[in-house]
A and B are shown apart, each in its own frame.
Chain A
Amino acid sequence: MPPERSNSLIRAIATDVHFWIPFCVLLGGLALLDKLR
């Protein structure tokens, strides 16, 4: 993939709220797992 295309994809993902919602929930899940072990 050309660097220009990959940069624009990374920018599109980083500015997409749909990415940050699951990402934050994942971090919360890892924190809960850490409490339970």
Chain B
Amino acid sequence: MNARPESLEAASLSVVHSPLQATRLRSLQALGIFCGFAAGAWLGGAEAPIKLVNADISPITVSLVMVCGVFLARWSVPAFIRGTSHVRADVLQAPHLVVWAILAGCMWAVANTLTIYAIRNVGLSIAFPLWNTNSLLGIFWGFLLFHELRLAGWKRWLGVLGGALCMFAGAALLAIASSHQAAPGKATFGIAAALGAGVLWGTMYIPYRKAYLTGMNPLSFITFFTVGELVTMLIVAVAYRGATPLWHELNAARPVLFWLMLGGFVWVLGDLFQQYATKYVGISRGIPLSNTNQLWGLLWGVLVFHELKGGTHTIYAQVTGGSLLMAAGAVAIALSSATEREHSSWRNAAAREGERYGVEHEYVRAGMEGRSFDGKHHARSVLDWLLVLGTSALFVALASVARLPVMDISRGWGVVLSGAMIVLLASGGVALWRTTRFR
């Protein structure tokens, strides 16, 4: 695809293939693993605001409003962190990734809508482990398509696959523990929806990995990703609900719009950590780690919303056992970071992507190493500040008309869990800045 002389081509390819400094590889792996855990906390916490919303609102409308919050977050957060001029620079280097980002966004929107059907029909406690099977699918795609876990050695295979299976078993145990909450007759629909979401999310990681092997910045990827999300949700919502009924429903839902959009915003912060985890440790490790969101979802459910209240000792034993299994699985994966030999097969996959789409090899290499490609500083523009201020103003306006539903909620535990999430956000942000300048 490139019209470059062969000698220059070979020299550029050797740039991608040359080994990464051992200390740099270790710090990027540690960063990716930390991002995976932080993603778990924020993705799990995102379900909490949605639980405050009345069940009378259609799942499609719930998903549409969430996606509006997601859209605003996916533009305002990158504008705040690095500025949108970085996005333009990235797209000029790898324009084909816009297509991949939009495709992934469409998948996210459909999966998210399915999860709302799943939660309504079988409850969060059952739905969560079912759609979290996406991590097993992620490992499969990572190995098959992107050379992950190749040349990794049996110990790392055991750590990743054993850890993911351990997490799956823990998730299943949690599902059994809370199965008494499922609404009779609706279970089949709920299970189909949750599994469908798992397959969509598990496969959505193909575009993610594609983008990050090519060197794209997660902050750039998500801005196009969200176009796919919003357009898909608008089409689905108008087609399924009809424009006028949808408008009336949105008007009637004004007091809860804030909670739904907040859920979307919180989800984006978790997803951003997940994107960085995928970039630096691959999908086979990043996705299972971010699936610790189930533990966070459980903590919110049990401590704040008093789920499982009055349960038997058996149920509490199952919840404790399931949670410990999940935690043990996550630790096993965290301890199985990629070696230099495995990283060399990632670089082969990256070189293949660069060749196929005619991307500069130095750009691919710099992206994998989390360093600057062109050394240029892109300053924030007026547009960036308008995005940040506009989004903040809209959230303040919606918060001013929001109402907290009458529910048995433990606010103290809510503050404690929110505090823990903020600590993870701050430490993750500092680590990303120090190691990669959010690249």
Contact = CB atoms under 8 A, between A and B. Distances in A.
Interface of A: 1, 5-6, 8-9, 12-13, 16, 18-19, 21-23, 25-26, 28-30, 32-33, 35-37
Contact of B203 (A1, A25, A35): A25
B110 A36 contact: no
B96 A12 contact: yes
A35 B1 CA distance: 43
Contact of A36 (B111, B145, B189, B199): B189
B103 to A, nearest CB: 6
B256 interface: no
Contact of A18 (B145, B192, B199, B236): B145
Contacts of A21: 141, 203, 206
B114 A1 contact: no
B357 A12 contact: yes
Chain B interface helix/strand/loop/mixed: helix
B207 A22 contact: yes
Nearest to B190: A36
B114 A22 contact: no
Contacts of A22: 103-104, 107, 203-204, 206-207
Nearest to B107: A26
Interface of B: 1, 60, 95-96, 99-100, 103-104, 106-107, 110-111, 113-114, 117, 141, 145, 189, 192-193, 196, 199-200, 203-204, 206-207, 210, 236, 240, 356-358
B114 A29 contact: yes
Contacts of B192: 32, 35-36
Given A18-B206, A36-B114, 7 more contacts: A1-B95, A22-B104, A22-B107, A22-B204, A22-B207, A23-B103, A36-B192
Q: Is the interface of A mostly helix, strand, loop or mixed?
A: helix
B282 to A, nearest CB: 15
B60 A37 contact: yes
Contacts of B111: 29
A18 B106 CA distance: 16
Contacts, number: 71
14 contacts: A8-B1, A9-B358, A12-B358, A18-B206, A21-B141, A22-B107, A25-B199, A28-B196, A28-B199, A30-B110, A32-B192, A33-B110, A35-B192, A36-B117
A5 to B, nearest CB: 8
A29 B1 contact: no
B217 to A, nearest CB: 19
A21 B199 CA distance: 11
Contacts of B96: 9, 12-13
B1 A12 contact: yes
A13 B111 CA distance: 23
Contact of B196 (A5, A32, A37): A32
Contacts of A19: 99-100, 103
Contact of A9 (B196, B199, B203, B357): B357
B196 A29 contact: yes
B113 A33 contact: yes
A8 B189 CA distance: 43
Contact of A32 (B60, B141, B193, B356): B193
A10 B395 CA distance: 39
Contacts of A26: 103, 106-107, 110, 200
Nearest to B241: A37
